[in-house]
Amino acid sequence: MDLIAIIKIAGRALARNKMRSALTMLGIIIGVGAVIAMVGVGQGASKQVQERIAAMGSNVLVVSAGTVTVNGMHMGYGATKTLIYDDRQAILRECPAVQTAAATSGTQAQVVFGNDNWFTRVTGTEPEYLDVRSWPMASGDFFTSQDMDLASNVAVIGETVRQNLFGTTDPIGQTIRIKNLPFKVVGLLSPKGQSASGMGQDQDDTILVPLTTLQKKITGQDWLQNIMVSAVSREASYTAEQQITSLLRDRHRIRNGQADDFFVRNQADMAEMADQTQSVMTYLLASIASVSLLVGGIGIMNIMLVSVTERTREIGIRMAIGATESDVQRQFLIEAVVLSLIGGAIGIVFGVGSSYIITTTLKWAVQISPIAIGIAVIFSMAVGVFFGFYPARKAARLDPIEALRYE
């Protein structure tokens, strides 16, 4: 018998028991749909985390003040006062893997405009900050090097601050008060959203002022909390990290065996760690969903065994009129594969639809992967072959004489 004839016979056999065939395919449908939806959820979450990390700025390293021990007590990170502006200058001058850098220090303050007020972060920095963070302006201008030299009372605000202080009013040119000091708003930052630090920090809830203004008029501190550094490339960020560490240990006169009084956080490390974590989560979700495919395959085997028993006399007649063991085996194997493929096709629609429902109702980021769809289809076909082989083999090995006698 040719393949086309066998497929037609298999199709007629499945059509005779439509309800049973549909229930048999249900396990495959749920399994394929669950795999596609769960992989989509995992990859969507991974993409969202990577976008948040990228929002911090590409190739970024953050050099921060370190910890100090007072009377046997560790004071935590940010307690040292050894990180200064000259360190920023030395990093740019002596670290070839560094492209640009921006010094920052910050505090929190109540900010007032008219009858409205808002408690937010006030960060002192310099014009290079926008390049390091890859942060464009929405409107207005950033403060200049001249504002740094003059310690001018100018401010650039984030989108969250704008919404809470100004509402629908254009903030550019308006005057706000930070700790009772008047500041002119010269620019508005583009929205960045939440950070990828895991704490859900709102990056737009901030006000940027010249570093000199913050140090001289607001905090009175002459040391830095952070130096944000941009490496020449993501790959070069690890080289930059080594160069910065070596340079600052030398500048701060830290002897061998002594702990650093600073620490360097590499965004590339965060990105890789997030990738690994999300990959594990995606594989876990896909593995759990694949259990449905396994259950569906067992269902196919069960139904095909029942079918062999019900059609024993039919098998005997076919073999008596010339059908070979190979023809019978292929017939039942094709029936199992057809069940799996039809179930897989419906499962794809179910998976894509489920992903859309998850996105619209739960507001989760879901990314449909063509690779996941392809793997799910191949896997469903493999399930049909694997679980259909034993029933097909059993049917092919029936004794024609005994099969004809079967009632």
Condensed to tens digits (0 to 9), the pLDDT of residues 127-159 reads: 999 988 888 999 999 999 999 999 999 999 999
Q: Phi and psi at residue 96, in whole multiples of 5°?
A: -60, -25
Give the tens place of pLDDT for each residue, 81-125: 889 999 999 999 999 999 999 999 999 999 999 999 999 999 999
Give the tens place of pLDDT for each residue, 372-405: 788 777 877 788 888 888 888 888 887 777 766 6
Tokens coding 118: 């808002």
pLDDT category at 63 given cuts 50, 70, 90 is very high
Q: What is the pLDDT of residue 126?
A: 96
Give the tens place of pLDDT for each residue, 203-222: 899 999 999 999 999 999 99
What mean pLDDT comes out for the span 240-268? 89
Q: What is the pLDDT of residue 198?
A: 46
**How would you classify the pairing of strands 116-125 and 206-210?**
parallel
Could you please report the per-residue DSSP string of 219-287?
Answer: I---S-SEEEEEESSTTHHHHHHHHHHHHHHHHTTPPTTSPPSEEEEEHHHHHHHHHHHHHHHHHHHHH
Q: What is the pLDDT of residue 78?
A: 60
Q: What is the pLDDT of residue 2?
A: 66
Q: What is the pLDDT of residue 74?
A: 54
Neighbour-count burial for 170-190, b at 16+ CB within 10 Å, e otherwise: ebbebebebeeeebebbbbbe
Q: What is the pLDDT of residue 407?
A: 53
**How would you classify the pairing of strands 181-189 and 154-157?**
parallel
What is the average pLDDT value for the chain, to the nearest integer? 83
pLDDT category at 315 given cuts 50, 70, 90 is confident
pLDDT category at 333 given cuts 50, 70, 90 is confident
What mean pLDDT comes out for the span 290-308? 79
pLDDT category at 280 given cuts 50, 70, 90 is confident
pLDDT category at 45 given cuts 50, 70, 90 is confident
Residues 6+ apart with CB under 8 A from 174: 113, 166, 184, 185
pLDDT category at 326 given cuts 50, 70, 90 is confident
210 within 8 A of 106, measured Cβ to Cβ? no
> Percent of the chain at pLDDT above 70?
88
pLDDT tops 90 at residue 239: yes
Q: What is the pLDDT of residue 216?
A: 94
CA distance 34 to 402: 44
pLDDT tops 60 at residue 196: no
Q: What is the pLDDT of residue 356?
A: 84
What mean pLDDT comes out for the span 334-341? 83
pLDDT tops 50 at residue 312: yes
pLDDT category at 199 given cuts 50, 70, 90 is very low
Q: What is the pTM of this model?
A: 0.63
**How would you classify the pairing of strands 226-231 and 98-113?**
antiparallel
> Percent of the chain at pLDDT above 90?
34
Higher pLDDT among residues 138 and 27, named by residue: 138
